[in-house]
Amino acid sequence: MLEVDTRLLIDGEFVEARSGERFKTYEPATGAVLAQVAKAGSEDLERAVAAARQAFDEGPWPKLPPFERGQVLRRIADRIRAGVDRIAEVETRNGGKTISDSRREVEGAARVFEYYAGAADKFFGETIPMGEERLDFTLREPIGVVAQITPWNFPFLAASWKAAPALAAGCAVILKPASYTPLTSLLLGAIGREAGVPRGVLNVLPGPGAELGERVATHPLIDKIAFTGETRTGAALLRASAEGIKRVSLELGGKSPNIVFADADIGKAAAAAVKGGFGNAGQSCSARTRVYVERRVHDAFVAAFAEAAERYRVGDPLDAATEMGPLVSGAQLERVKAYVEIGVAEGARLVIGGGRPSGLAPGNYFAPTILVGANNRMRVVQEEIFGPVVVVIPFDSEAEAVAMANDNEYGLNASVWTRDLSKALRVVRALRTGMVSVNSHGSASRWGLFAPFGGYKKSGLGRELGMYALALYTEVKNVFVELAD
């Protein structure tokens, strides 16, 4: 039993779509239909916008002392924690990610709500000195009604990264989850309602992004859009919202490099490259999918990497021992397969993988795949595949490694492996990415969730997490007071 209310959450109530329509959501491990979810259309969006507008314009949410909003967020965190098992199971069955990843992400979501519960009353304005006869200060005010559009690769966590700071700031939220994975966002809506989020402040609207997106972008009563997904979709949203000068923050694609110098701990770097490239079945914007290895250790690295990748346990995502589950959909599987074929046709060579692992039909499984013999301009090196495919390329100098790493339209994340601290920091400075990890495959967000997350170039606009996210959901008002008689 799923125990998820599969209706829309609008104005504090779960309701059917006006059209009465529902859409199917699937279980990627089996291909079976998991649930039928109410499908929001334009009339439902209008209802949600009206409810959010009223909740924001008439209060009480944005006018509450921030500390009190924080208390509601803390109750949400407590309820998420109490429901980890259930939420994680729904996440795994709907998105295909392993149960251990789902549990870690749901616990991470609880921490995000806790963080913003405490941060709600710690993000404030400043006083600008102007002499005895004038007073100048700034206020941080909530931006208003915020539409948040989330992806399918981290459904519950991405919704929490977005909703928690927006709610802490005093905004009213319309959350539109990805159509592949709507269920845990509906659970989040239900939890918010139980925790005392007032009516209209958190609305959850599963429905087709292609139909709702244009209206969200042009709606005069929506003040801000926060989006995570494909760069092309983000660019379309930005174009459509330009006329209204809407506030927009974007967390987009990545093709993150992983630079391994010969003086690094090669065994450790190779083992980490497995999780960095194949974690979440490679469906991660931070996946380290381009590995640049100093030539004299290239072959040893590839051998160690391939050996560790072959040991990576692919299978039933509900089994606690599984390290990699299926891809989210049949369409994603076809896309990944097509990319590997393109890579091989362009001259890259398969070391391992390249197709479905045996014995795992009918789920959307794809084996961890390593390609070598590629050059930096090939499509498999330049484009985001969003599957378990990693390309390894040798380099001869630090400058060449940095040049190849930066030769990409994305600039989200990166790793550098070396025991030489000066070299590590030189490379950190030279990389055009929003985040860099030294001697680690992970992002800071995996450990702390309090460091800024976001990218340079076509990887996005703005930074999520930490106090940075509160800046995304507030406006600055400057107040000037003439004190002289």
The CA-CA-CA angle for residues 472, 477, 479, to 5°, reads 160
Nearest to 364 by CA among 389, 329, 338: 329
Q: Between 418 and 459, whose beta carbon lies closer to ligand NDP?
A: 459
Stretch that binds ligand NDP, among 96-104, 132-140, 202-210, 263-271 (CB under 6 A): 202-210
Residue 134 CA neighbour count, 13 Å, CB half = 9
- DSSP H helices in 242-378: 266-278, 295-311, 330-346
Contact 250, 82 (CB under 8 A): no
Task: For tokens 């391992």, name the residue.
Answer: 352
Q: Is 96 in the site for ligand NDP (CB under 6 A)?
A: no
Q: Between 291 and 336, whose beta carbon lies closer to ligand NDP?
A: 336
Candidates 15, 33, 210, 321; binder of ligand NDP (CB under 6 A) is 210
Size of site (CB under 6 A) for ligand NDP: 26
For the chain, the maximum distance between any two Cα atoms, rounded to a whole number of angstroms, is 85
Rounded to a whole number of angstroms, the minimum distance from the CB of residue 340 to ligand NDP is 14
Q: Is 271 in the site for ligand NDP (CB under 6 A)?
A: no
- Segment 102 to 121, residues that bind ligand NDP, using CB under 6 A: none
Q: Which residue is nearest to ligand NDP (CB)?
A: 213
The CA-CA-CA angle for residues 332, 353, 398, to 5°, reads 95
Candidates 209, 434, 454, 466; binder of ligand NDP (CB under 6 A) is 209
Contact pattern from residue 233 through residue 252 relative to ligand NDP, giving x for each residue in contact according to CB under 6 A and a dash for the rest: x--xx--------------x
- Segment 156 to 195, residues that bind ligand NDP, using CB under 6 A: 176, 178-179
Rounded to a whole number of angstroms, the minimum distance from the CB of residue 414 to ligand NDP is 15
Q: Is 411 in the site for ligand NDP (CB under 6 A)?
A: no
Stretch that binds ligand NDP, among 208-216, 270-278, 319-327, 355-363 (CB under 6 A): 208-216
Rounded to a whole number of angstroms, the minimum distance from the CB of residue 460 to ligand NDP is 9
Pairing of strands 22-26, 247-251: unpaired
Nearest to 317 by CA among 100, 24, 108: 100
Q: Between 62 and 177, whose beta carbon lies closer to ligand NDP?
A: 177
- Buried b / exposed e across 51-76, counting CB within 10 Å, b at 16+? bbbebbeeeebbebebeebbebbbbb
Rounded to a whole number of angstroms, the minimum distance from the CB of residue 15 to ligand NDP is 19
> 301: which 2 tokens?
């690295």
Contact pattern from residue 422 through residue 461 relative to ligand NDP, giving x for each residue in contact according to CB under 6 A and a dash for the rest: ----------------------------------------
Q: Between 178 and 449, whose beta carbon lies closer to ligand NDP?
A: 178
Q: What is the DSSP letter of 281?
A: G
Q: Residues 6 or more apart from 382 whose CB is under 8 A from it?
A: 255, 376, 408, 409
Q: Is 272 in the site for ligand NDP (CB under 6 A)?
A: no
Q: Is 479 in the site for ligand NDP (CB under 6 A)?
A: no
Distance CA 220, CA 145 (A): 10
- Segment 216 to 235, residues that bind ligand NDP, using CB under 6 A: 228-230, 233
Q: Between 151 and 394, whose beta carbon lies closer to ligand NDP?
A: 151
Nearest to 16 by CA among 53, 52, 49, 43: 43
Contact 319, 89 (CB under 8 A): no
Q: Catalytic: 285?
A: yes
Residue 49 CA neighbour count, 13 Å, CB half = 20
Distance CA 312, CA 323 (A): 6
Q: Between 142 and 455, whose beta carbon lies closer to ligand NDP?
A: 455
Rounded to a whole number of angstroms, the minimum distance from the CB of residue 411 to ligand NDP is 12
Q: Between 170 and 213, whose beta carbon lies closer to ligand NDP?
A: 213
Contact pattern from residue 348 through residue 387 relative to ligand NDP, giving x for each residue in contact according to CB under 6 A and a dash for the rest: ------------------------------------x-x-
Distance CA 420, CA 424 (A): 6
Stretch that binds ligand NDP, among 143-151, 303-311, 392-400, 429-437 (CB under 6 A): 143-151
Stretch that binds ligand NDP, among 135-143, 144-152, 337-345, 354-362 (CB under 6 A): 144-152
Stretch that binds ligand NDP, among 147-155, 295-303, 319-327, 418-426 (CB under 6 A): 147-155
Q: Between 92 and 233, whose beta carbon lies closer to ligand NDP?
A: 233
Candidates 208, 267, 347, 362; binder of ligand NDP (CB under 6 A) is 208
Residue 43, H or E segment:
helix 42-58
Contact 272, 441 (CB under 8 A): yes
Which of 91, 105, 171, 285 is labelled catalytic? 285
Q: Residues 6 or more apart from 336 whose CB is under 8 A from it?
A: 282, 327, 366, 385, 386, 387, 388, 389
Distance of CA 56 to the CA centre of its chain: 26
Binding site for ligand NDP (CB under 6 A): 149-153, 176, 178-179, 208-210, 213, 228-230, 233, 236-237, 252-254, 285, 332, 335, 384, 386
Show which residues are catalytic: 251, 285
